[in-house]
Amino acid sequence: MFTGVSLLLFTLETFLPQPVPGGRIGLSQLITLLVLYWYGWREAGAVLLARVLLASLFAGGILGPVFILSLGGGITALAAMAVFRARLASLSPLGVSVIGATAHNLTQLGIARLLFIRQANVWALLPYFAWTALASGLGIGLLAYLLGYRIERAVLAE
């Protein structure tokens, strides 16, 4: 179910304008973040991997640039979020989400530079990706906080 919703959000996001060239808001990360908080990093990793595999099949094939960039950024983001969540239990989903978005963007820029773009000027995009990470991380974190709270209340009320 979580993989399906994550894939749906990923697909819906393709219809939104990109904040920077090649950049996305990361709506599917909302599901990864919620699963991380509710079930843990292993389950969040399974949802992430399934979404990346399925989305890559739809958007360019396995082992293509979409797959490599999505998987690299997703794994790094999840690892960073899981570590900070475990080490700083008081850190809200907003902070955890910003950390994940930042790790995701840095990893994708690094992979793009190493594998796809041979010019060093790819790092000129860093300020734009940093602002995008901050804005999208806060937005996704706020959604996770609000939705998570409402869903948990609804489940506990039953």
State pLDDT tens for residues 108-134. Answer: 999 988 988 878 788 888 888 899 899
pTM for this prediction: 0.88
Domain region containing 113: 2-157
Angle at 55 between CA 58 and CA 2, to 5 degrees: 135
Spatial separation of the C-alpha atoms in residues 29 and 48, rounded to whole Å = 8
pLDDT for 56: 85
24 exposure class (CB count in 10 Å sphere: 0-12, 13-18, 19+): buried
User: What's the whole-number average pLDDT of the chain?
Assistant: 88
Nearest to 97 by CA among 136, 44, 58: 136
For residue 50, which of 85, 99, 35 has the smallest C-alpha distance? 35
Give the total number of structural domains in the chain.
Answer: 1
- Residue of 48, 46, 40, 51 whose CA lies nearest to 83: 40
User: Domain holding 55: CATH number?
Assistant: 1.10.1760.20
The model's confidence at residue 142, banded by pLDDT at 50, 70 and 90, is very high
